[in-house]
Structure 1
Amino acid sequence: MNLEEFNIIIFITGIIVGCIATLAFKSISAKNSSKHTSSNSNIITMKSLQQELDNKQVIIDNFFTDSNEHLSSVEKRLAELRNSLANNASQLSNVKIENSASINNAETVDTSSMMEPPRDYALKNGKEPGMLSDAFGLDDRSADLEPKRTI
């Protein structure tokens, strides 16, 4: 074998090994960059999701605020309509109809009289605490349960 042929074989083998090493290096760097890019895209995705959630929460809050305002205005208009009907009915006939303001006050009084603390209907003798008492059932019964032992 001639030295020139040997140099050509080594040169061609070097080119092939260099190409393989370059392809391997590119694939490894591509994997690392794709992992890095995917982690950055996850961070961006999490931020965008949080921002979208915040935007939707603002929309929901605005919806409920607007709905509450509309309901309040409808209730006011209904009260005005009732007052107007009561005034016009009293002009047309001898029937006296109460205004909605007096009806609302009567309802408020009725609901407050219905609210009262629970009553203690437990059977008790003298000054014993009832079942609703804080001290009910907290007697020291351990002394009664265990007999005294003497040797």
Structure 2
Amino acid sequence: MNLEEFNIIIFITGIIVGCVATLAVKSFSTKQQSKQTASNSNIITIKSLQQELDNKQVIIDNFFTDSNEQLTFVEKRLTELRNCLASNASQLSSVTIEAAPSTPNTNNTEETSITEPPRDYALKKDKEPGMLSESFGLDDRNLDLEPKRTI
């Protein structure tokens, strides 16, 4: 083999290796760019979903606030109507009708303020004290388990 043939073989081999390396680097860079665009689109999607969720939550909060205000207004108007009917009915007849109370019923608040003692739902054998019993856990079963130590 001549030196010229050897140089031609090395030159052709270099061209082939360069083309393969270029294709490998190009495919690697396109994969990286596609991953970046996919992650950017996911971030944009997550941000847009969070923003949409926040907007819907604001709409829901406004709905319940407005509904509460409207119900309060209707209750006030209903109380005024009852008072007006009671005063006009007393003018028309001798029957007395009580006017609507200006404050909500206090009987309901008194009933709800009554508390019950806690109930004992602990699993227990027949005639064994429950966990809420005053004598629960005060027996001396542990004395047999631990030997007495003296120095």
- TM-score, length basis structure 1: 0.63
CA distance in 1, matches of 2:78, 2:57: 31
Identity across matched positions, percent: 57
Shift of 1:143: 6.1
**Paired AA for residue 141 in structure 1:** D
| Structure with the higher helix share, 1 or 2 | 1
1:65 corresponds in structure 2 to 65
**Paired AA for residue 57 in structure 1:** Q
Render the CA deviation track for 1:68-93: whole Å, top value 9, x for unaligned.
00000000011011111111111111
**Paired AA for residue 80 in structure 1:** E
Aligned to 2:63, what secondary structure does the other structure show?
helix
CA distance in 1, matches of 2:135, 2:90: 62
Aligned to 2:101, what secondary structure does the other structure show?
helix
CA distance in 2, matches of 1:144, 1:50: 58
Equivalent of residue 111 in structure 1, options 88, 108, 111? 108
Residue 120 (structure 2) pairs with residue 142 (structure 1)? no
1:95 corresponds in structure 2 to 95
Shift of 1:44: 1.6
CA distance in 2, matches of 1:30, 1:113: 73
CA distance in 1, matches of 2:143, 2:69: 65
CA distance in 1, matches of 2:22, 2:140: 86
**Paired AA for residue 135 in structure 2:** G
**Paired AA for residue 65 in structure 1:** T
CA distance in 2, matches of 1:59, 1:144: 62
Shift of 1:28: 2.3
CA distance in 1, matches of 2:20, 2:110: 92
> 1:117–1:51: structure 2 CA closer, same or farther, 3 Å change rule?
closer
Matches within 5 A, 1:31-50: 31-50=31-50
The size of the alignment, in residue pairs, is 127
Matches within 5 A, 1:25-36: 25-36=25-36
> 1:37–1:118: structure 2 CA closer, same or farther, 3 Å change rule?
closer
Aligned to 1:38, what secondary structure does the other structure show?
helix
> 1:113–1:73: structure 2 CA closer, same or farther, 3 Å change rule?
closer
- Kindly report the root-mean-square deviation, in angstroms, between the aligned alpha carbons of the 2 structures: 3.7
Moved over 6 A (4+): none
Render the CA deviation track for 1:110-148: whole Å, top value 9, x for unaligned.
3355444447xxxxxxxxxxx9xx8722463116995xx
